[in-house]
Structure 1
Amino acid sequence: METPNGRETGPLDANRPGARGSLWLAFVAATLIVCVICAATLLVRSLWQDGAADRARELENMAVTLSEQTARAFQSVGLIQDDLIGHVREKGIQTRIQLVDAMSTEDVHSRLREKISGLPFIDAITVIDETGQLLNFSRYWPIPNVNVSDRDYFLALEGMRGPDIFLGEPVPNRGSGTVTIYLAKRFANSSGRFLGLVLGAMEQSYFERFYSGLRLGRDGMIALIRSDGALLARHPGSAGQSPRDSAVRARTAAAVFATGQMPQLPAGTLDEKARIAAVHRVGDLPVAVVVSESIAALDALMWQRATPLIVAAGLLCLTIALVAWGVGRHLRDERAFAVAQHGMARIDVLTGLPNRLAFAERLNALLKARGGGTPLALLYLDLDYFKAVNDTLGHDAGDTMLIELAERIRALVGPDDFAARLGGDEFAVVVSGVNHESEAAEFAQRLIHTLRSPLHLGLHRIVSGCSIGIVMAPRDGTGVAELLKNADLALYRAKADGRGIARVFVEEMERLVRERREMEVALQTAWREKQFFLLYQPIVEAESGRVAGFEALLRWQHPERGLVNPTSFIPIAEETGLILPLGAWVLAEACAAATTWPEDLFVSVNLSPVQFRGAEAFRQVRNALESSGLAPSRLEVEITESTLLQEGPMVRATLEQFSEEGITVALDDFGTGYSSLGYLRTLSIGRIKMDRSFIDQVETSPQSLAIVRAVVGLARTLGLRCTAEGVETEGQRRLLTAEGCSHLQGYLLGRPGSAEEALRRTRTSAA
């Protein structure tokens, strides 16, 4: 067809506006579909990688935990062996005849039985002479006539070559038939000649029962493997006796102890399945815990997670095509832009949770929809010790911590509830399905428990936790601003009461906050006007009753309130930073006072966790010693186990500096916090102080007495001094002295007094 001007037109004329719009719309739709496919591919790949990384972290965390538990079992055997070998050395035994006379007695047999009575996983302890003959055996008396010179552990240790310790592979016990794992340690006379060994036998089934208590997943497996590839224990499926094929062992050792961070175990290593594994060495022993998952199970899990994403991407492509068919380009582009901008402005980029703006909008809409009728709860969270992680480990570690804890919060929130990150380390959760504050408090406790679980940030194990303030709407407010203000007051009270707890808002809290601020002002005034002073409580030697030193105790004499309890003002001083100049003053005063005492007396000073930040503790201690002239060996600094937990590497570095200067470090309140043999093994600790809670009931409670004996025995074994605090009765004093406690402290032995009274006490004690 021709137009009057001679131009041909038709339905496919590409120059027509409608045709150009259709072609452009088709191009845009096709482009979007390609982008969706590419994005879905990238997301599936990222999901696959993240899922594998998450599983790898789970395996690694489990391997670390299991290796620590396994190491404790071997350490228990090692402590018994070291005690027996020390006994041989103390007696100066040089020949086999002397060894037989000393170690083949019923007294030694009773001693062996007593040492393993509380350790059910130890099958037996055996003393063996240089010929392989049993000299003593914890299981039987009289001792059976058994020779073990053909056993691998005896052959490995008798030549005095290589390490002093040998970890044997599982074999049936010749006495009982039980499959056991042997840990052997040799000993020699003063000239270095082999005298024999102490053998600890642990039931293989103990490790397998212990490992069986963990949830491993479909194809999860835990194995205990020696460095040469010998299989010591395994779950699921009992390991039985380890295969003796050297080629199989060599392949297993090469695969398990590879240098890779997450080794790949080919089929035939642990079973017929190819696996990824986390390997963690057990202390200093030539053995590792291997926690693994089959690659097939991991792939199946990843496909299960990726399938919804693939289906969603396909549906999205179909939707784009339908929308492109029915909607114009301009309207579609404007709406997509508006939606994207709206979402970006309301999402926290780091955690993916709604931000403060989105939280306020949604809460406001929820309050209006309910019209002041059905109640809801607002929980205001603040992470504990987040600033310490940021300051010591860096902002990347802090961001990782926020992301992990946000995921835990998200996992607890129900479909009708919502959570948001309000900024920094502050989060909020709105719980709709509650009718009473007790239900909100119960949910808050679940949050606290979940966030308290340890985090692994690289090589660091962090315990954070949170404090929570709770308000109920409409009881505590009908608007967003009012609810947040009252929730903040409740949170402030929770942190003031000790952190890691939840508090429900009450009207009285406004008054308490005002009093707290007044206390902060009063503390600053007390510091300026020198209202603080020190008292000194004697620490005496248990056997002689002689004064060995004094502990410096900080006190505050307020002109109106009188004597203020340290537990009420020291936490505030730590939070406001006043503890830094105050702690430096305490060190200087205590060191100066100690210079007036006899030179064989020491002074003990408590250090706050805040003083360890930025190496402040070491600078303050050095300044106090230099200004007073006190010898470093006469100063003892006390830290708590929570200080090690909160401040981490900085504390360890400072303790090493103290040790190099000759300053003694005491671990205070031992056994009440996060006690670990690892602290005593790796840190420069010179004294442990038993908390008074154990001493109060030591005369009446078998459990308290058992704890006291264990702590004193541990101190004796590690060569540490042990001080019992809170001794108030003569019976306590006699019992603690009899149990071997080296030093005592308490009202029975002397109440805290001034520096002048301490000086008079030293003169009386010397006389």
Structure 2
Amino acid sequence: MSRLLSKLSGGQPVASAPVSVDAHSLDPQRSAEMLAGFEAADIGWFWESDAAGRLTYLTDSAIAAIGAERDALIGSELTQFLATGDSDDLDSTSRPLKFRLASRSPISRLNVTVQTSQSKEIWWEISATPRRDANGEFAGFHGTARDITKSLAQSRDSERAAQFDSLTGLANRLRMARKLDQTLTAFKKSKRSCAIMLLDLDRFKKVNDTLGHPAGDELLKQVATRIKKLLGDHGEIGRLGGDEFQILLPDMDDRGDLGDLSKRLVQMLSQPYSVEGSRAIIGCSIGIAVAPYDGIESSELVKAADLALYAAKDAGRGTYRFYSSELSQNADWRQRIEDDLRDALTQQQFLIQYQPIVDAKTHKIASLEALLRWEHPERGRVSPADFIPVAEELGIINKIGEWVLEEVCTQLSKCPPEVRAAVNVSPIQFASEDFYDTVDAILNKTGVDPARVELEITESVFVGDLERTLKLFKKLKKRGVRLSLDDFGTGYSSLSYLRDAPFDKIKIDQSFVRGCSADDNNNSALVSAIVSMARALKMETVAEGIETKDELAMVKGHGATHLQGYLFSGPISIDELLDRFDSKELEFKPRGPEKYRAERRTEFRKIGVIHGDSRYNVFLRNLSKTGARIEGLLDVPVGTDLVLDLGDGQLAVATVRRSEGFSQGVEFETKLISDGDRGLCTRHRVSPYQIEAAGRPLGALTNSAVAAYTTGSQSVPRAFVEVDMNAYNRR
């Protein structure tokens, strides 16, 4: 040590050494004694290397602390013994140790890992200055070191607490926001895409309220585990707070892949959970937005995903939605619904219609399903899918449900005594403490036979307090009311509660009936299994949503006892029903198409059509996954290739297969996909980066930007005559 100490005291102080001593003011012996005392106190250690970067000296206590052998350590290269860590652990400006040594520059408080045979992690902070020989040539480094393993671990823990959720271990809101900002900034430069998903748990509050907050915390942990298991290393997962999660997915813009991932997430998170000895069932709604299509900045993208999430929840939960510009308009529409819905009941804007449920053998009316309708004085009929979720959130669904039940019971008393009516019950309405008393009071007030009243319950009522649910079922059955399980098989099905709950009827969801005769799905087998199970449990079955005769033949062949759908009748008024009863017209004959066709959405909106360098305005009349019908171009030859601009950057390449006058039927080159809520969309969209390359500013997609991008030279002759469909429709 004397050689090192003599050099340290000989006029070259160590950089950042933890000793404040002016070596020039002391004689060499005194300096050596003081530095030796510093070393002996184990406050810090000294080290030295030669010009080749080999370790020539290290304090004995430092060698002992890392459990190394002196002979093995002295003479080894510094870069084999010490190494800089990852950028997550160190300041991002730190250079690798090898570079620092090669530069022969002073080293100040550099964090390095100690490479030892021990399994534990050891961190040192080193400082050093280059030393020179008598000729002024570089002779190596000498400096100090100190163990910072404990303080660095504490710093990491503190940093982790600031960036990660203590309950689930996922990234927190702060880290996710920072990560999204960093990703979007980097991806904007490299012209890459990035998707985010916002996940909100359905019915989590009910679990929290019924089983307690500790159970809710445990459920959130299990949710986080399932998400991590499904995603693996693909993306960053965060918990934003409460029951809301966010997923960041770099380099994903294929909405087909995003939709498939969303379906798997919804399915996985909807499976039952075991929480503190109780069984809990929740759901999940997902909103999806993709940069740069739906936003360039993080605030834009998060707002877009948030609007998509609200749309998914409004659609009935348990689904996903992609952002579209239409959702911004829908947000305004939702606000107007909230403003007007509170007055709808007092101003008598609600009415009841009934869809017949017929006997499978005779096709005569066996019962009715009561359907609530809202006739807005200014906006016309508002869909229940739009206002029921709002009524639930506003807390007025109980009052509306009470009015519906009383109105149905009153109208039912005018029908033949053998006719029953089913009333849909909201899970929130069913969960209210006074639900049974409300039903009992209405039955007493209207005097209707309870056996003629059927309460349609969805499977979500089994979330939370199962014991209370089963007791309420038994109480209602004792009162004489019939019970029907609605939408069976759509995500929360369990044979255990079918065994225990006293249902009279199972309604087979229309998603299983639709296309059940097609060869490319398993719907027929599922219908058969549900009917067989219901028969074994002595329950009736209703096949919902029958629209074609091949579907009718299939469900009847599998033994469904009752049938419902537009093939027989849509919803009709009580007056029309009473007229039928008076005239004894109890049979509804099936009227409709022979075979199931791929679902088509009736549309009536203006879109763009591109042919060559010309862009035309046409009307979209209907839309399916495989094609569409458009109106507005005259005498387009069959076989013509067109591009349909469906809005929001969705370009669908199509070929004209039928053409008559100003109407064309086109077939898409690539099938459209589901948008998560009965709508259709393209897998890919025009990239804003392409639009930017064409000379326009970079920004989220707008229809005007896409129109300008797809419009060629106006001097090129147009191949087709564009018909003014507005004038035609007015005639």
Q: TM-score, normalised by structure 1?
A: 0.51
Instruction: Find the counterpart in structure 1 of residue 241 from structure 2.
Output: 423
In the alignment, the residues of structure 1 paired with residue 441 and residue 179 of structure 2 have an alpha-carbon distance, to the nearest angstrom, of 56
1:632 aligned residue: 450
Deviations 1:550-578 (A, max 9, x none): 43221221223333333443344334433
Partner residue, 1:659: 477
**Structure 2 counterpart of 1:590, one-letter code:** V
- Name the amino acid aligned to 1:578: I
Tell me the CA shift for residue 348 of structure 1.
0.9
- Matched-pair contact (CA < 8 Å) for 1:639–1:667: yes
* Superposition deviation, residue 581 in structure 1: 1.4
Q: How does 1:426-441 map to 2 (within 5 A)?
A: 426-434=244-252
Matched, 1:720 2:539: yes
Structure with more of its chain in strand, by fraction: 2
- In 1, the alpha carbon distance for the partners of 2:366 and 2:256 equals 52
* Contact kept? 1:380, 1:487, Cα under 8 Å: yes
Structure 2 partner of 1:363: 180
Name the SS of the counterpart of 1:405 in structure 2: helix
**379-388 vs 646-655, which moves further:** 646-655
Per-residue deviation, 1:448: 4.5
Q: In structure 2, what residue type is equivalent to 1:531?
A: Q
Structure 1 position 585, deviation (Å): 0.8
Deviations 1:357-411 (A, max 9, x none): 2222333344445563342424132233223332333322321221122223334
Are the counterparts in 2 of residues 29 and 320 from structure 1 also a CA contact under 8 Å?
A: no
**Aligned pair in 2 of structure 1 residues 693, 23: CA closer, same or farther (>3 Å)?**
closer
Measured after TM superposition, the shift of residue 437 of structure 1 is: 6.0
* Partners of 2:270 and 2:560 in 1: CA distance: 35
* AA in 2 matched with 1:626: N
Q: Does the CA-based 8 Å contact 1:722-1:741 persist in structure 2?
A: yes
Letter aligned with residue 377 of structure 1 = C
On the 8 A contact 2:210/2:464 being kept in 1, the answer is no
Distance 1:723 1:341, change over 3 A: closer
Q: SS state of the match for residue 467, structure 1?
A: strand
State the distance in 2 between where 1:495 and 1:736 align.
31
**1:351 positional shift:** 0.8
The structure-2 alpha-carbon separation of the partners of 1:576 and 1:705, relative to structure 1 and needing over 3 Å to count, comes to same
Q: Deviations over 1:587-614 (max 9, x none)?
A: 1111222344455543321212222224
> Separation in 2 of the partners of 1:660 and 1:428?
46
Tell me the distance in 2 between the aligned counterparts of 1:758 and 1:709.
Answer: 32
Distance in 2 (alpha carbons) for counterparts of 1:670 and 1:499: 16
Distance 1:571 1:432, change over 3 A: same
Q: How does 1:181-580 map to 2 (within 5 A)?
A: 314-316=118-120, 319=123, 327=145, 338-370=155-187, 372-385=189-202, 386-411=204-229, 417-434=235-252, 444=262, 447-448=265-266, 450-462=268-280, 464-538=282-356, 549-580=367-398
Task: Summarize deviations over 1:441-496 as a string: whole Å, max 9, x none.
Answer: 56555544554554333455555453333333445444433332222223223333
**1:100-132 Cα deviation digits (max 9, x unpaired):** xxxxxxxxxxxxxxxxxxxxxxxxxxxxxxxxx
Query: One-letter code of the match for 1:660?
Result: K
1:541 and 1:547 in contact (8 A); partners too:
yes
Normalised TM-score (structure 2)? 0.53
Matched, 1:593 2:411: yes
Pair 1:338–1:507, CA change in 2 (3 A): same
User: Residues 314 and 619 (structure 1 numbering): CA distance in 2 closer, same or farther, change over 3 Å?
Assistant: farther
What is the rounded CA distance, in whole Å, between the counterparts of 1:377 and 1:318 in structure 2? 37
1:512 counterpart letter in structure 2? N
**Partner letter of residue 346 of structure 1?**
Q
**Cα separation, partners in 2 of 1:549 and 1:472, compared to 1, 3 Å:** closer
Q: Name which one, 1 or 2, has greater alpha-carbon Rg.
A: 2
**Residues 287 and 322, structure 2, Cα contact 8 Å, conserved in 1:** yes
Asked if 2 retains the 8 angstrom alpha-carbon contact of 1:364 and 1:480, the reply is: yes
| Residue 532 of structure 1, CA deviation | 0.3
Q: Structure 1 residue 530: deviation in Å?
A: 1.8
* Contact persistence 1:694–1:707 (CA under 8 A): yes
Question: Cα offset for 1:655?
Answer: 1.3
1:269 alignment counterpart = none
Offset from partner CA, 1:674-726 (integer Å, 9 cap, x none)? 65554443211123345567778899999988877766665555443445556
CA distance in 2, matches of 1:727, 1:588: 29
Greater relative CO, 1 or 2 (CA 8 Å, sep 6+) = 2
**Partner Cα distance (1:374, 1:730) in 2:** 51
After superposition, the C-alpha distances for 1:178-198 in whole angstroms (9 at most, x for unaligned) are: xxxxxxxxxxxxxxxxxxxxx
Q: Unmatched 5+ residue regions in structure 1?
A: 1-8, 34-310
Check 1:427–1:516 CA distance in 2 against 1; reply closer, same or farther (3 A cut).
Answer: same
Letter in 1 for 2:174: L
**One-letter amino acid of the counterpart of residue 168, structure 2:** T
Is 1:667–1:685's contact at 8 Å kept on the other side of the alignment? yes
Report the AA paired with residue 517 of structure 1: Q
RMSD of aligned C-alpha atoms? Answer: 5.1
Distance change in 2, residues 1:583/1:368 (3 Å):
same
Contact kept, 8 Å, 2:124 with 2:149, in 1: the verdict is: no
SS for the counterpart of 1:530 is: coil
**Cα offset for 1:499?**
3.8
Shift of residue 436 of structure 1? 5.9
Q: CA deviation at 1:583?
A: 0.8
List aligned pairs for 1:707-746, cutoff 5 A: 715=534, 717-723=536-542
Deviations 1:597-640 (A, max 9, x none): 45554332121222222445424322322332334333221223
Mean Cα displacement is larger for which, 313-322 or 559-568? 313-322
Residue in 1 that maps onto 2:636: none
Q: Match for 1:380: what amino acid?
A: M
Which is helix-richer, 1 or 2? Answer: 1
